[in-house]
């Protein structure tokens, strides 16, 4: 059976963009794949983290995944650091990854900024660990956003060069499952930049834990322009904020943007924002409720992660043993 692995960093409060862009998709994939979902705490450590905050965010992120419909009976949900084989495989891959490949990575260039000498080795090696996350399970498909496409390309190169160097067909070349652009959720304050946890204004995003009042207030304050909504999607071309709100409504209701305009074209934003609030609350309120219940029972969440870790370790151990044998490490 085809196997999915994906990962998400516990560096942030989850927001509507993460949910519509990633997690909702992960839930649906449980029907047709064997699915492994990993909270990548080691990747989070490529930037400085407060120890207690990191631990709390790891558990919180797991709670969001479970509250959103990731089902531990069907998916293996686990924490990256609890499966040490990821790091061990990452070292073996590091030894066969040319610097030239890593130097092409645009995310490193963006994150390291101008002062590259101060960037950590971990930030540089980040995509090698990501390749290990995927290949330790010999995953065949990886759902990722546009921004991770290059890392997945590198994963395929590493898998291919391992197979070639040792004359084996050990690793599959995992296929990216790029998630639709319709689910690229932008900031509520600026329709040209992505909704992000690092935006200093909380009004720029809908958090998964926002209650109905907060959601209503944020949509009411969301930036728009003075024109009513157009009746055709072409009319959204130069209107990034209007486009974003229409896309969010479409994603939440599983409609096309054109259908949404068929319903709301010509109406003022005040009306549309009210309807948008209603559909957002209908989707998010039950998730927030379940999440609060789960966070009140951290032992349960930790238990799910412990079970998931155990299952993941069993799968990972098989791959790691195979790799160790292929590269010539002496068995104990």
Listed in sequence order, the residues at least 6 apart from 64 whose beta carbon sits closer than 8 Å to its beta carbon are: 14, 19, 23, 208, 287, 291
CA angle at 126 for the pair 191 and 149, rounded to the nearest 5°: 50
111 is catalytic: yes
Kindly indicate which of the ranges 1-9, 216-224, 243-251, 311-319 contains the residues binding ligand TRP, using the contact rule CB under 6 A.
Answer: 1-9
Among 20, 76, 142, 320, binds ligand TRP (CB under 6 A): 142
Kindly indicate which of the ranges 61-69, 91-99, 143-151, 313-321 contains the residues binding ligand TRP, using the contact rule CB under 6 A.
Answer: 143-151
Phi, psi of 163 (to 5 degrees): -60, -40
From 13, 197, 255, 311, the catalytic residue:
197
5 binds ligand TRP (CB under 6 A): yes
- Of residues 11 through 50, those in contact with ligand TRP by CB under 6 A are 40, 43
Return the number of the residue (107 or 163) whose C-beta is nearest ligand TRP: 107
Phi-psi label, residue 5: left if phi above 0, alpha if psi -120 to 50, beta otherwise: beta
Q: Among candidates 42, 17, 64, 30, which has minimal Cα distance to 251?
A: 17
Q: Are 86 and 321 in contact (CB under 8 A)?
A: no
| Residue number closest to ligand TRP, CB atom | 7
9 binds ligand TRP (CB under 6 A): yes
Listed in sequence order, the residues at least 6 apart from 207 whose beta carbon sits closer than 8 Å to its beta carbon are: 13, 14, 15, 16, 214
What is the per-residue binding string for ligand TRP in 104-133, x denoting contact by CB under 6 A? --------------------------x--x
What is the per-residue binding string for ligand TRP in 147-166, x denoting contact by CB under 6 A? -x--x---------------
Phi, psi of 15 (to 5 degrees): -130, 180
Q: Which residues bind ligand TRP (CB under 6 A)?
A: 5-7, 9, 40, 43, 130, 133-134, 142, 144, 148, 151
Catalytic residues: 111, 194, 197
């Amino acid at each position: 059976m085809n196997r999915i692995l994906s990962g998400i960093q516990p560096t942030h409060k989850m927001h509507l963009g993460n949910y519509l862009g990633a997690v909702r998709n992960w839930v649906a994939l449980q029907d047709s794949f064997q699915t492994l979902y990993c909270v990548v705490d080691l990747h989070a450590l490529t930037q400085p983290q407060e120890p207690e905050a990191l631990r709390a965010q790891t558990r919180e992120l797991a709670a969001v995944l479970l509250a959103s419909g990731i089902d531990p009976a069907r998916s293996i949900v686990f924490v990256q650091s609890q499966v040490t084989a990821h790091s061990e495989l990452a070292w073996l891959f590091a030894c066969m990854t040319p610097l030239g490949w890593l130097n092409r990575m645009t995310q490193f260039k963006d994150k390291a900024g101008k002062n590259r000498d101060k960037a950590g080795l971990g930030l540089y090696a980040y995509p090698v660990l990501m390749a290990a996350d995927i290949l330790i399970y010999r995953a065949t498909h990886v759902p990722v956003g546009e921004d991770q496409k290059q890392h997945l390309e590198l994963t395929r190169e590493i898998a291919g060069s391992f197979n070639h160097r040792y004359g084996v067909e050990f690793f599959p070349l995992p296929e990216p499952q790029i998630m639709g652009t319709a689910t690229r959720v932008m900031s509520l304050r600026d329709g040209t930049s992505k909704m992000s946890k690092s935006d200093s204004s909380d009004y720029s995003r809908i958090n998964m834990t926002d209650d109905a009042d907060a959601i209503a207030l944020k949509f009411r304050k969301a930036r728009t322009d003075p024109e009513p909504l157009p009746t055709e999607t072409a009319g959204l071309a130069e209107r990034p904020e209007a486009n974003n709100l229409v896309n969010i409504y479409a994603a939440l209701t599983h409609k096309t943007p054109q259908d949404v305009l068929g319903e709301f074209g010509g109406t003022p934003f005040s009306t549309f924002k009210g309807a948008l609030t209603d559909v957002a609350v209908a989707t998010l309120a039950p998730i927030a409720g379940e999440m609060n219940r789960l966070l009140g029972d951290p032992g349960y969440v930790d238990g799910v992660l412990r079970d998931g870790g155990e299952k993941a370790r069993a799968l990972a151990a098989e791959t790691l043993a195979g790799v160790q044998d292929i590269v010539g490490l002496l068995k104990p």
